[in-house]
Each structure stands twice: as C-alpha cells, then as structure tokens.
Amino acid sequence: MSMSSDPAPHDVHAFSDSEREAVYRAIHSRRDVRSQFLPKPVPVDVLSRILHAAHHAPSVGFMQPWNFIIVESPETKRRVHEAFERANREAAEKFAGDRQELYRSLKLEGILEAPIGICVTCDRGRTGPVVLGRTHMPTMDLYSSVCAVQNLWLAARAEGLGMGWVSIFSPEVLQQALAIPEHITLIGYFCLGYVSAFKAKPDLETVGWLPRAPLEELVYFDHWGQSDAAHPLTGHLRERDEVLG
C-alpha cells in the first residue's frame, strides 16, 4: 500500500501550516453569492490579480482557450438580467408543487446589484484543429476554461470578493446580449463584488434543497463501487466530514 497513517515528515515543497490553512480557508469559505453584493467599487489592481489567477489555470495543450468579458455598463447588465428572467420563468415550471414554491422563493443571481459581471468563454479553435491532449477527450478545452473559473473564484474569495455563477440563461440569448460569435462557447456568467457577508454554508443546503453528501460514500478504491471500511482513509474522511459539517 502506498499510503501510511503515520505523520509524514514535512515535505520540502509543502506550504507552511499557515499558508496551507489559507488555501483551505479560501476553498471552504468560498460561496456562490447571489444576495449580499455591495456597491463598493472593485479596485483595478484587485481585478487584475484575480484575472491573472484565472489565466494561470491549467489548459489542455497549453491552449489557454479563455476570454473574459468585463461587464460594467448598466444597459448590458439589464440585457443580461432580462435573459435570466426569461430563462428563470421556464426553469421554474420544471418543478412541481412545494418544490416549485421553494424554487420561486430563492434569489438565484445578483446581476444588477453586483458592480461587475464577468463572462468566461472558450475558443475551441484557438490553436488549430489538433490540440495536444484533446484528441480522445474533446471536452478538455471546455474544462480548461472551467479550471480558470475556479481559480478566479478562489482568488476573489481571498480578496474579500463574492462571486456567483449564473447558469439560468439560454446560451444563445446571452451570447447575443454580449455579441459573442457563434464559434465561441459560453462557459458562464459571473457576478462579482464586495459583500456584506459570506454565509457559513451554501444557500441550497441551508434551505433544505439538498443535503451535503458524506464524502466517504463518494470515494471508491481501485475500481468503481468498491468501498473499503477498513482502509485508513475511510476513517479520516468520516472524521473530517464531522469537523467540516
């Protein structure tokens, strides 16, 4: 077995305890923010740092397929918000009874309140038709842009900025609102700004939409479906589940 439950000697490439805790703090206190945006301006040096964090995401074949559209104008935000409203009416109809009532009570975006909108895209043809690492898994370029999104989100959290992913749009309607050409793939639209609070838990967990899954049930060993209660990792996963809540 390649794992040990003995404490490891501190690895030379590991961060210090306080640095490591800062990374985990960003990961665990990041929220999908929809309701707490403040009008406080976002300084350009902060925005530059978080965009560079996104740009330093991994990308398949180093193709860096992303673009970032910074939305500040009220008219553009209004067009984006209209696209959301239209899609949200359609989406609500998919749920029945109490579930639809709960859905309609949720605030799912902060498009007009957030000082900045950011649209992230993927240019699948950027470096030509053949991309190192994409031949057998053609969605790898889309996934590269998503890695950029997660870097952006964590960097924003460290800067004290909330970010929310709005996915309730017909992609075509949003692409039109932002003049994105057809050959470019929309990845997501994000609301960004300082916030009055970061909630302790995801909103959907708090309102009882779905519970947090126990991680130990999602981890298999060697092949799909194989749990191992005797593996030392399983106990560690359970303990940390209890700590993190």
Within residues 164-223, the interface with its own copies by CB under 8 A covers 165, 167-171, 178-181, 184, 187-188, 194-195, 197-198, 202, 204-205, 209-210, 212-213, 215, 218-223
How is residue 78 written in tokens?
Answer: 């209004």
Q: To which residue do tokens 């665990």 refer?
A: 28
Helices 140-158 + 44-55 axis angle, to 10 = 150
Tell how far CA 87 is from the center of its chain: 20
Tell me how far, at minimum, the Cβ of 183 lies from its own copies, in Å: 11
Tell me how far, at minimum, the Cβ of 92 lies from its own copies, in Å: 9
How is residue 153 written in tokens?
Answer: 């989100």
Subset of 14-73 contacting its own copies (CB under 8 A): 14-15, 18-20, 22-28, 30, 32, 39-49, 51-53, 55-58, 60-64, 66-73
* Total of residues contacting its own copies (CB under 8 A): 135
Q: How far apart are CA 175 and CA 17, in angstroms?
A: 44
- In Å, how far are 90, 91, 208 from 98, measured between CA atoms? 17, 15, 12
Subset of 98-137 contacting its own copies (CB under 8 A): 103, 106, 108, 115-116, 121, 127, 130, 132-137
113: left (phi over 0), alpha (psi -120 to 50) or beta: alpha
For residue 91, state whether it binds its own copies (rule: CB under 8 A): yes
Tell me how far, at minimum, the Cβ of 241 lies from its own copies, in Å: 8
Tell me how far, at minimum, the Cβ of 102 lies from its own copies, in Å: 10
Contact with its own copies (CB under 8 A) among 35, 81, 112, 143: 143
How is residue 38 written in tokens?
Answer: 């403040």
